[in-house]
Amino acid sequence: MSIRLVIADDHPVVRDGLRGMLAGQTEFEIVGEAATGAEAVALVARERPDVVLMDLRMPTMDGVAATGSIAAAHPGTHVLVLTTYDTDADILRAVEAGATGYLLKDTPRHDLFAAVRAAARGETVLAPAVAARLVGHVRAPAEEVLTARELEVLALVAEGCTNAEAARRLYISEATVKTHLLHIFGKLGVDDRTAAVTRAMERGLLRLPPSRR
């Protein structure tokens, strides 16, 4: 099945470039483009895409506000931020608003394609540079381990749960799960779910579920 996409960016050249790249992959279907956050919200309501590629700085409504609206109204649509801004504040605001992932616009095309596929599955996706910033921002001292809640989230990830499934089982929001994952990535010094599970197992913080041994 194809992955239905919306591109939200206020620069026509950027939208053209993304459309050209993505349209070359038969699994991706561009169902609309937006030049403002408000347009993106309206477009998602009409088209119900699987993934939105969302710029952060746009007129009328910025990408963070648009992400929050989409995440609240359409949990089946995953927002993948694609921006030039990599400050800690921008990253955390976007993820707390409900973004599934955060990439920079210099991301190589094959990494972008892989990130879109992962986002469509509801997986958290971080650009390496973004992960590195988060490591510096939230990494705990060497002797500090993951919190009990972080271990619960990571255990569910190890079982193969999506963010949405983990949220349901822990009775928390999907955005909270994503925030926990960001802190887990930072503390373990990794940038994806698989590496986090592997690193936690190496440190003796987590055991692989019997069904996956």
Sequence-distant (≥ 6) Cβ neighbours of residue 97 within 8 angstroms: 64, 65, 67, 68, 71, 175
**pLDDT of amino acid 213:** 47
Give the lowest-confidence range in 8-22, 31-45, 181-195, 196-210: 196-210
Strands 51-54 and 3-8: parallel
What average pLDDT does range 42-57 have in this prediction? 96
**pLDDT of amino acid 142:** 47
- Is the pLDDT at 139 greater than 70, yes or no? no
**pLDDT of amino acid 141:** 47
Domain with CATH 3.40.50.2300 in the chain: 3-126
pLDDT in tens, 152-181: 999 999 999 999 999 999 999 988 999 999
- Is the pLDDT at 187 greater than 90, yes or no? no
**pLDDT of amino acid 137:** 54
**pLDDT of amino acid 39:** 96
User: Mind giving me the DSSP string for the chain?
Assistant: -PEEEEEE-S-HHHHHHHHHHHHTSTTEEEEEEESSHHHHHHHHHHH--SEEEE-S--SSS-HHHHHHHHHHH-TTSEEEEEES---HHHHHHHHHHT-SEEEETT--HHHHHHHHHHHHTT--EE-HHHHHHHHHHHPPPTT----HHHHHHHHHHHTT--HHHHHHHHTS-HHHHHHHHHHHHHHHT-SSHHHHHHHHHHTTS----GGG-
What average pLDDT does range 105-115 have in this prediction? 92
pLDDT in tens, 63-94: 999 999 999 999 999 999 999 887 767 887 88
For residue 125, list its beta bridge partners: 101
For residue 80, list its beta bridge partners: 53, 101
Greatest alpha-carbon pair distance for the chain in Å reads 50
> At residue 27, what are phi and psi to the nearest 5 degrees?
-80, -10
What is the distance, to the nearest Å, from the Cα of residue 86 to the centroid of all Cα atoms in its chain? 14
Domain with CATH 1.10.10.10 in the chain: 139-205
**pLDDT of amino acid 209:** 54
Sequence-distant (≥ 6) Cβ neighbours of residue 108 within 8 angstroms: none
Fold assignment, 139-205: Arc Repressor Mutant, subunit A (1.10.10)
- Give the Å distances, CA to CA, from 160 to 81, 156, 174: 24, 7, 15
Q: Class of 3-126 per CATH?
A: alpha beta
- Is the pLDDT at 150 greater than 80, yes or no? yes
Rounded Cα distance between 84 and 104, Å, is 5
What average pLDDT does range 138-146 have in this prediction? 53
- The percentage of the chain sitting over the pLDDT mark of 70, rounded to a whole number, equals 89
